[in-house]
Amino acid sequence: MRPDAVHRVLDAELQAARQRRGAAPEVLDVGGGSGVWAVPLAERGCRVTVIEPSPNALATLHRRAKDAGVADLVIGVQGDTETMATLGELAPVGGADVVLAHGVLEVVDDVQLAVAAMTEALRPGGVVSVLVANRYAAVLGRALAGRVADARRLLDDPNGRVGAADPLLRRFDLDGLEELLTGGGLRVEVLQGHGVLSDLVPGAVLEATPGATEALAELELAAAARSPLRDLATRLHALARRPA
């Protein structure tokens, strides 16, 4: 199967970083959990530091890294990812070629502070990879499920929330995500969707149709950067660079 749009962009960036520095790229994975991103990146030769508040997730991370033979390339650090206030104490300032913030900005207390902290963690010329929940996909999903009142709340709420019980503090649209990152001094180079169509196709359909899985992967990759399809993706992905 072809790599998805996020992996394609990250692979190209990490290859460029390796060529630029002549060394293994340094990746800081904020809120990286049990290593869903960190371990595969380490298998590709990156040095990855994972900042994660959960000791159980860090224990799983270490086991996965050991099983994959990359324990020497993965460092797990227990630390707060809700405020980001101490990120500079947990990771070297200006030490990362890539900072991953996948599923993080929806839950941090102060989203501007989080972007500033991640920018400080980057080397000049490095990038932040941000993956966030999409407000409009959430509106569409709830409407299709018959939860029309919740869909309207999501649409009208300034932060894209259903209400006080919503587990997310905010959801994003493309314009809001770009404004947040550029406001933090970053230059946005990629804005695309993740889960544009693949999250809508039932698994039973793919299993019953020969070649459908591969075809859907190709379609997903083609749709990731095309408006209006990308605007309705389950998640939005941005790659933003700290000026050199």
Q: What is the pLDDT of residues 34-79, one digit of tens each?
A: 999 999 999 999 999 999 999 999 999 999 999 999 999 999 999 8
Name the pTM for this structure.
0.93
- Pairing type for strands 187-194 and 122-133 reads unpaired
User: How many Cα atoms occupy the beta-carbon half-sphere of 132 within 13 Å?
Assistant: 31
What pLDDT, on a 0 to 100 scale, did the predictor assign at position 2? Answer: 54
Domains located in the chain, CATH noted: 5-134+172-241 (3.40.50.150)
- pLDDT at residue number 97: 97
Helix axes 174-183, 111-121, angle to 10 degrees: 60
Q: Is the CB of residue 120 less than 8 Å from the CB of residue 86?
A: no
pLDDT at 103: 95
Q: Decide: residue 163, CB within 10 A, 0-12 exposed, 13-18 middle, 19+ buried.
A: exposed
Residue 1's pLDDT is what? 44
Alpha helices (H) in the chain, listed in sequence order: 5-21, 38-43, 55-67, 87-90, 111-121, 135-144, 148-156, 174-183, 203-208, 212-223
Q: What is the DSSP letter of 45?
A: T
User: Could you tell me the sign of the dihedral formed by the alpha carbons of 115, 117, 120, 126, in that order?
Assistant: negative
Per-residue confidence (pLDDT) for residue 81, from 0 to 100: 83
List the chain residues with pLDDT less than 50.
1
Cβ 41 vs Cβ 18: under 8 Å: no
d(CA 142, CA 156): 14
